[in-house]
Amino acid sequence: MNFRIYSPAASLAPYVKHYYHLQNANDGLLHLPQNLFSLGDLYMVFLQEGEVTFQPEQHAAFTLPKAAVVGHFTCHHTIKVQGPVKMTVVQLNAYGCYKLAGLNMSAFNNYYRDLLKQDNGQWQHLVEAINATTDYMQLDASLDKAFMEMMATQEHSLKQMDEVADYMLRHQGHVNIDRLVRKFKISRPTLERKFMEVIGITPQLYARMLRFRDAMRHMQQMNVEQWQSFITKSEGYNQDLFNQDFQFFKGSESTITRMPVAQTMAVA
């Protein structure tokens, strides 16, 4: 299996986090990390060959089209890949899809959107550019160029919701709606409506994801005794809430997509 990780151009930050390219010539069902798609992020998937099927625990299974946006995953999911496979994945932050694609995320309620069914021909152009790439050391340059051109023509404003999402991220989700309303001087109904439009989930659920992800990150570095102390001392977070979140998000923490990378890396 050939798996590469690329860093996007600095001008695309923070909307685009990483690019990934997976290629495997073997027939049949391929074994991939079940947590390749991490909690709280969005992904564009461009499938050149093969079949990718998702089975969310709380949703009907779906097979991806040739070009799609996938996420936010709010429950555990399994991934089945039928080879031979060749696919390119773009990892976005919570509001990256709205910024790059201008899609109304409040209508994004089935975990994926077929990009080739959108009115704008830019997605077909991007698919053709990826298919035309034969030197995968240059794949990141092709994607950078396409996304920078896309952003230059994008007229959709983030409506302050990028600032709200970044603030929540800095505080690892340990904020409540009343605090956000006061800080950003916006009514609760307007905050929730705009957050849904730009991010695609409610601010309450996004905060819950961030708190759980932060708890898991700390607990991976602790022994059992330290876990109990961490959960007990966390402001606004306790053992009961963590247990509820674990049952809701179980298995959703990422592995490969959390690997820090400063340049193109061949993983396997």
Cβ atoms < 10 Å from Cβ of 228: 12
Q: Is 224 exposed, middle or buried, given 0-12, 13-18 or 19+ CB atoms closer than 10 A?
A: exposed
In angstroms, how far is the first alpha carbon of the chain from the final one? 6
Give the SS3 label for residue 132: helix
Q: How much is the pLDDT for 264?
A: 41
Q: pLDDT of the chain along its 268 residues, tens only? A: 788 899 999 999 899 999 999 999 989 888 765 556 777 788 999 999 999 998 887 788 999 999 999 888 777 778 889 989 999 999 999 999 999 888 888 876 668 889 998 766 888 989 998 999 888 888 999 999 999 988 888 777 888 999 999 999 999 888 989 999 999 999 999 999 999 999 999 999 999 888 887 777 666 555 555 545 555 555 555 556 655 555 555 544 443 333 333 344 433 3
Q: How much is the pLDDT for 108?
A: 66
Nearest to 29 by CA among 78, 90, 88, 69: 78
User: ω into residue 56 within 30 of 0, thus cis?
Assistant: no
Q: Which amino acid is at 118?
A: Q
* Residue 27 and residue 11 in contact, taking contact as beta carbons nearer than 8 Å: no
Q: Write the CB contacts of 46 (distance below 8 Å, at least 6 apart in sequence).
A: 66, 67, 87, 88, 89, 90, 126, 127, 130
CATH code for the domain defined by 2-153: 2.60.120
Cβ atoms < 10 Å from Cβ of 60: 9
- List % helix, strand, coil for the chain (3-state, nearest 5): 40, 25, 35
Nearest to 108 by CA among 89, 95, 119: 95
| Domain 159-258 of CATH type 1.10.10 | yes
- 169: its two tokens: 């991220």
Q: How much is the pLDDT for 60?
A: 86
Q: How much is the pLDDT for 153?
A: 82
State the Rg of the chain over Cα. 19
pLDDT digits (tens, 9 = 90+) for 218-261: 665 555 555 455 555 555 555 566 555 555 555 444 433 333 33
Residue ranges covered by each domain of the chain? 2-153, 159-258
Beta bridge partners of 70: 43, 112
Q: How much is the pLDDT for 52?
A: 92
